[in-house]
Structure 1
Amino acid sequence: MMLARCLRSKAPHGLLRAAGLSSSLQKVTRATTTDAHSLAITDNLIDTTRGFDVGLLVSVLRQENASDICVIRVSPELRYTDHMIIASGSSPRHLGAMAEFVLKAFKFLRKDEERHVRLEGRDCDDWKCIDFGSMVLHLMLSDTRDTYELEKLWTLRSHDEQLQRIPQHTLPSDFILDMNTHSPQTSSST
């Protein structure tokens, strides 16, 4: 069974508690220096032993002004990921900045046993994707999000009217040859 929780950007912080955050929200702050952006994470704001989880990712996205954040728990039978997070950005530049900041926060909190992650869609203006293993983050522009409707795809699969209208196609019986009945011809010398 899949469970989805969509959080509007102005939703009360109490909704984040369901995602694993305590009542005191932990924040990752961005400090701008004259030559580069760097993470300024203070010990009293974030617990570095906690690691990078869904609650922290949602908190970072909210801080980066992501809108319409949706967290979907993916069924374990699919063996793809545990959670899919979908969020919207206001412009291609905003999407890129959010993706880069999320990557920096992950790298700061990453444990040695966790795998490295990559940003997919670096050259794409309307959709960025980061696969963390246990979480997959999709950052999209609103128009792109409306076009692909990933929330419906992952939450309403069995109830999707369009999927029910598609006729079930079966393969013809001769599509896959039976290896036992069709053996290669051997030439015999007489």
Structure 2
Amino acid sequence: MVTATDTVTSDKILATILQSLTDDKAEDIVQIDLRGKTAIGDYMVICSGRSTRQVASISEKLAQTVKDEFGVTPKTEGKDVGDWVLIDTGDVIVHVFRPEVREFYQLEKMWQPMANPGAVHN
């Protein structure tokens, strides 16, 4: 747990989130740096769970870990359905998807930089 003398940074929160997702067997974890691109947060993390049950479990454990480690209760949406759960810690936004739902929305494509933004395609 973070003490009063510790400084909570988005990098510390991100590291804790990535470790929690790895521990809970989340798949295809993608980290997107949002700093300087938007005010919604510093990082976005997108991952998949194999089933609605695993998506809900990953999300519940992640929210509890963030609360235990940093004293912050993240906002969570979508846990009841288990297709797509959003966990918002303030600095780091996490999306946990079932693979089919992730493929449908393709959030990574909206936020990741294009390979060559100046290229012209005919």
Contact 2:16 2:66 in 1 (8 A): no
State yes or no: 1:101 paired with 2:58. Answer: no
The Cα offsets for residues 71-100 of structure 1, whole Å up to 9 and x where unpaired, read as 000142421110000010010000111111
- Unaligned regions of 5+ residues in structure 2, if any? 118-122
Correspondent of 1:154 among 101, 111, 114: 111
Whole-angstrom CA distance in 1 between matches of 2:13 and 2:70 = 10
Whole-angstrom CA distance in 2 between matches of 1:150 and 1:98 = 19
The Cα offsets for residues 39-88 of structure 1, whole Å up to 9 and x where unpaired, read as xxxxxxxx745655111111110110000000000142421110000010
TM-score w.r.t. structure 1 length?
Answer: 0.53
TM-score w.r.t. structure 2 length?
Answer: 0.80
Whole-angstrom CA distance in 1 between matches of 2:82 and 2:63 = 17
Partner of 1:66: 26
* CA root-mean-square deviation: 2.2
Q: Taking structure 1 as reference, are residues 143 and 75 closer, same or farther at Cα in structure 2, changes over 3 Å only?
A: same
Larger radius of gyration: 1
The Cα offsets for residues 6-43 of structure 1, whole Å up to 9 and x where unpaired, read as xxxxxxxxxxxxxxxxxxxxxxxxxxxxxxxxxxxxxx
User: In the alignment, residue 95 of structure 2 is paired with which amino acid?
Assistant: H
Whole-angstrom CA distance in 2 between matches of 1:138 and 1:151 = 10
Identity, in percent, stands at: 27
- Unaligned regions of 5+ residues in structure 1, if any? 1-46, 160-190
Correspondent of 2:41 among 71, 81, 89: 81
**Higher helix residue share:** 2
Please state how far the C-alpha of 1:103 moved relative to its aligned partner: 1.1
Correspondent of 2:13 among 53, 75, 96: 53
- The higher relative CO (CA closer than 8 Å, separation ≥ 6) is in 2
Whole-angstrom CA distance in 1 between matches of 2:52 and 2:102 = 13
Equivalent residues in 2 for 1:11-22, closer than 5 Å: none
Partner of 1:142: 99
Whole-angstrom CA distance in 1 between matches of 2:64 and 2:88 = 14
